[in-house]
Structure 1
C-alpha cells in the first residue's frame, strides 16, 4: 500500500499520498469531489427534538458511495443528552449500518460499559471502530475480545500515554487517525512504527490488512 490511511479526520487533506476519511456529518460544503466521508449522529449534538429528523437525513445520506463509515456515533457521559437518548440513537445507527453494510466509527467517553453490551450483540455482524482510543492495554483487550477495532491518534506521540502503551502491546488489527489534532498523519505513522518496532512499509501493510478486514475495498 503506497498511501497513508487516516481513518478519521476533521481536516480536509489534499496530499496525494494520504487517503483520509473526512468527518463531514451531512455538510459537504467545500469538500473536494471524490473525498471519502463519514457521517453520523454525534452524541454531543443529539436532542429529543432533533434526533428523528437528523436520523431521517442520515438514512438518505449514507447511501452515497463516498460515505465509507457511519459516525461519529456513540456515548459520552461528559457531554451530551441523557444516556437513554444516546442509547436509542446509537442503536438506530447500528441497525442502519447493518442495513447498508457500512462500518461504524464510535465516539466513547466514560461509557465503555454502555458500549460493551452493543459489542456483544453486534460486533460479529458489522465492524465497529472505536476512534481516538486512549486507555490501558487491559481495557483494549476487553474491547478487542468483544469484537471492536481500535483506532489511535496523536495521543501516541506521548510515549507515557495509555494510547502509546496500548499500541506497543497490541496483537490485533488497528487503525490510525488525526481526528482534530494539528499533527500530520505521517507523524502518527512514524510514531506508531517506532512503538511497534517495525518498518514504515510493514506498518502500512498492517493498516491495509485492517482496511481489507472491514471490507471497505
Structure 2
C-alpha cells in the first residue's frame, strides 16, 4: 500500500470549467501519478461533453446519470433519454451516475412531491444499472438507510461505489455486503472528521476506492482552492497514514 505511481481518480468532475485546458490538467495529473480519471455526470446537460472528452483523451472515462442535487434540470422524460444514451454509449462509459438521494437539499427541494421524484429517479437508475450491467456511482447525503433499502430491493449485481462516504461503520458494511465499494476522498485529511476517519480506518481495505470530487472538496490546508486530481496522491498518503495508525 505504498505505491502511488499509478492512481485512478474514481470521481472527478473534469468537465467543469476549472479544467477547461484539458490537456494541461491531464499532463500535471499524470505527472502526479494519476493515470485514469472517471467523470460522473450531473444530467443530460453534460452527457455529450463527457462522451466527447473521453473519446479525445485515452485516460478519461465517464458515467451517465441524473444527479439528485440538480433535480431542477431533470424533465419528465429524463429516464427515457438516459436509457437511450446508455443504449448507444461508448466503451468508455463505465458506470451509471452520479445518482442517488440527497436529503440535505434546500427546503424547496424536500417537499413530498419533489422527494418522491428523487426516489423515482434513483430507483429507475438502479434498474437501468441492472439492465445494462453497469455499476452505480451513488451520491447519498443523510440518506444511507434509504439508499440501502432500495439497493437491497433490487440487488444490482455489478455493485458500484458510494461516493464521498461519511456514514457509520454499520452503514458502510451494509453497502459492502451488497457488493459496493466505499469512496474515500479529502475529508479524511481533516483531523476534525474523526467519525469518518475512524470508519475508514476499520473497513476492509479491498473495498476502498480513492477519489477527489475535484474541483470540489479541497483537502485540509487547501481550503478556498479548487481541488485537482493531483491531490489524489495526498488522499492516498492520508489513507496510508490513517491505516498505519490503527
TM-score by length of structure 2 reads 0.71
Whether the 8 Å contact between 1:38 and 1:72 is mirrored in structure 2 is yes
Identify the residue that residue 212 of structure 2 maps to in structure 1: 178
- Structure (1 or 2) with the larger CA radius of gyration: 2
Pick one of 79, 85, 88 that aligns with 1:61. 85
Give structure 1 stretches of 5+ with no counterpart: 199-217
How is 1:60-209 mapped onto 2 (pairs within 5 angstroms)?
Answer: 60-62=84-86, 63-79=89-105, 80=109, 82-123=114-155, 125-161=157-193, 162-171=195-204, 173-179=207-213, 180-181=216-217, 182=227, 184-197=231-244
Pick one of 67, 78, 81 that aligns with 1:42. 67
- Deviation, 1:129, is 1.5
Whether the 8 Å contact between 2:157 and 2:179 is mirrored in structure 1 is no
Shift of the 157–116 alpha-carbon distance from structure 1 to 2, 3 Å rule, reads same
Identify the residue that residue 215 of structure 1 maps to in structure 2: none
Deviations 1:89-148, CA, capped at 9 Å, x for gaps: 111111111121110000111112221212212345231321000123233233333443
Shift of the 36–87 alpha-carbon distance from structure 1 to 2, 3 Å rule, reads same
The ranges of structure 1 where at least 4 consecutive aligned residues each deviate by more than 4 angstroms after the TM superposition are: none
3-state SS in 1 of match to 2:104: coil
Pick one of 1, 7, 12 that aligns with 1:9. 12
- Deviation, 1:48, is 9.4
Shift of the 157–49 alpha-carbon distance from structure 1 to 2, 3 Å rule, reads closer
Give structure 2 stretches of 5+ with no counterpart: 20-24, 218-226
Identify the residue that residue 214 of structure 1 maps to in structure 2: none
Query: 1:122 & 1:186 partners in 2: Cα distance?
Result: 35
TM-score by length of structure 1 reads 0.79
Query: 2:74 & 2:166 partners in 1: Cα distance?
Result: 32
